[in-house]
Each structure stands twice: as C-alpha cells, then as structure tokens.
Amino acid sequence: MPVHNNHHQELTIDEYVQKGCELLKSVSVSHKDATTMMDALLDADLRGVHTHGLFRLPRYVEQLKAESINPLPNINMVHSNPWLEVLDGDHGPGAVVADEAMHRALKKSNDYGIGVTAVHNGNHFGMAAYYAEMASQEGKIGIVMTNSSPAIAPTGSIKRLIGNNPWSVSVPNPDNQPVTLDIANSIVSKGRLRVARDQGETIPLGWALDADGKPTDDPQKALEGIVLPIGDYKGYGIALMVEILAGVLTGADFSERMVDHDADEKRNVGHLFIAVETDSFMNKEEYKKRINELVQSIKQAPVIPGQNVYLPGEIEWQRKQQQLSEKINIPEKTLQEFWDLCEKHNIS
C-alpha cells in the first residue's frame, strides 16, 4: 500500500514532553538539553511532519547510549568575526547544537544586521524550519541548511555521493504566520522511506532507484540505492550547493566522508544558520506593506475548482495551531515504540 498514516493515536503535550525528557535524562542528557530536544520534536509532530518528530527519539536514545551522540557536549567557538562564528558542536544532540547556533546568529544580527553561524561536528537536528522560524518570529529572515549522508547520485550516475541536504527559508509576515519553505532536495526524505519500511508499506515508483539503478517500490531497496532529486538535474545542483555551504565550508564531513545516519559512530554533520534584519534593507513599516501586498495577491489568486492556494508552510502552521488545543496525533507504530522505550527505561 502507498505511504500514508491512517492509524494514529493521541498523546497530550505534557505527556509527550515529560516522558521524552525523562527518557533523554536516563541516557545522561541534561534537563535543559532534553527540553530543547523534545521541543524540536514536538514542533514537527504538531505540524504533522512525523518523520522528524517522536519517530526519531528511539534512534537518538540508541546513539546517546552508544555515545555516538555526546550527551554532554562542550559547544565551543573556533573562529569568529563581528558577524560570523564557526562552532564545534562536539558531536552533541543535533537540536541542542542547532538551537545554540541559531541563537548566536540572532544575537549577531541584532548588532550587525546579519548573523551567521557555521557548525561542524553536529548531528541530525530535526526539521530545518524550526530553527529558521526562530528568526522570522523575531521579525528577521532565517536561512538554515544542513548536509546529510549520501542519498542522491549526480545526474547521469547511480552512485550516491550527495545528501538530500535539507534547507529552509523563513520570512516574517507581520500580520500573520511566517512564510516558511522547508524542503529536502530529493523527491522523498530518507526519514519517510524509513517510516515506510518500518510500517511494511510500499512507495510510489518514481521516488527512488535500487542499487542497480532500477525503479523500485521497496523502501529498503530505495535506502540501499538512491533517492531521486527534485526537478531532476536542478535538484542535484541545489543539493550540491548545500553540500558545499553546509559541509565543505563549515569544516564538516561531506559526500563519502559522511558517516551513515544508521551507524553507531560519531558523525560530523555540518549546518549553516543565517539571520538577517529586514530593516537592513528598509524600515519595518515599508517591509510590512510590501510583504502584505505580495501575500494578499497570492491568497486572492483565482483558484482551480476544488483547490486552495496556500503559502509555503501554511498548511503545517494551521495544523500546529489546531493541535495545540487538542491532543497530538502520533502514528500508532511510533507511539507504541515510544511506550515500549519508556517501559524499557522504567519510565511510567
């Protein structure tokens, strides 16, 4: 059957965060850092992006126990100038390092109009939009990108050499939610393939090729082969640029140097965080007027019968607002694994 999650169970936000924090603290993560990690996972699940929510927690716990993720990192600055810092994440939890990095970029943007933080020795940090919106919620432009283990082949090849390398841009929309684009450069994320594999589902043909370069509907064969880029050669080109900016430029691993996400080894993932003040370009009222004009023209565009026009990130934002007043819908298998993990760690 195709990928979709019809079987969902509910969890309160308090249960989600409290039990998750207890799990992380049981593998030596501090309370502060555990809260940071669970907030990032929660945001993904609230938006319905379940591949980057609670689904990730069991693997994080395994990696923390194996110390391939450092539960108590010493995040330190290795280079700086007035508007830029390069951080060594000390192999810490991805969300913890990313949260620190984006806050540093925001602080520099307060003084210089722009702040940039480059990170090496990071880890999988979840949903890029979560960090980009830290900027847009403060009236700034947020740009976030990260590299990942190889998943995409250069156009014309069947060898995985480039990650799907997610990136996000979020811009403030003063009268409404931010306009936020968050994409990976493959048709499907590896996280979604893992979900399909774990749930015994097939995937649509056209998402991936197997190790022999043949189309496959088997998610495991897709993980062993290559996922196809968005927009054919254009997606490959974008992924390569992110590999350079978030991998080569930051001092992180890149391409075949990257340790696979499923390996119990320390990884050297690279991230780039950029925060930009809109009033570096024009006063805030002028920006507000211009962004409102653009947004309204899009929202008022004639629609195809049966369709709606949405801004990037709008559907996920609406879903989040709805679930904030309700229990969170979690895929049944993910929730069962969560409770099994709690039981294993004597968390009741």
The predicted pLDDT at position 100 comes to 99
- Return the CATH number of 8-280+327-344, one of 3.40.50.720, 3.30.2350.10, 3.30.1370.60, 3.30.1300.10: 3.30.1370.60
Alpha helices in the chain (DSSP H): 13-25, 31-46, 57-66, 94-112, 128-136, 190-198, 219-224, 233-242, 284-299, 314-324, 332-344
- Rounded CA-CA distance 224/50 in Å is 22
What is the dihedral angle through the alpha carbons of 318, 323, 326, 330, rounded to the nearest 10 degrees? Answer: 150
Better-predicted residue by pLDDT, 22 or 4? 22
**Region 59-87 average pLDDT:** 97
The predicted pLDDT at position 8 comes to 56
User: Could you give the percent of the chain with pLDDT greater than 90?
Assistant: 85
pLDDT, tens digit, 9 for 90 and up, residues 237-248 = 999 999 999 999
Would the pTM count as exceeding 0.85? Answer: yes
pLDDT, tens digit, 9 for 90 and up, residues 287-310 = 999 999 999 999 999 999 999 999
The mean pLDDT of the chain is: 94
Q: Are 86 and 80 in contact (CB under 8 A)?
A: yes
pLDDT, tens digit, 9 for 90 and up, residues 4-21 = 344 458 889 999 999 999
Contacts of 179 (CB under 8 A, 6+ apart): 136, 170, 171, 173, 291, 295, 311, 312, 313, 314
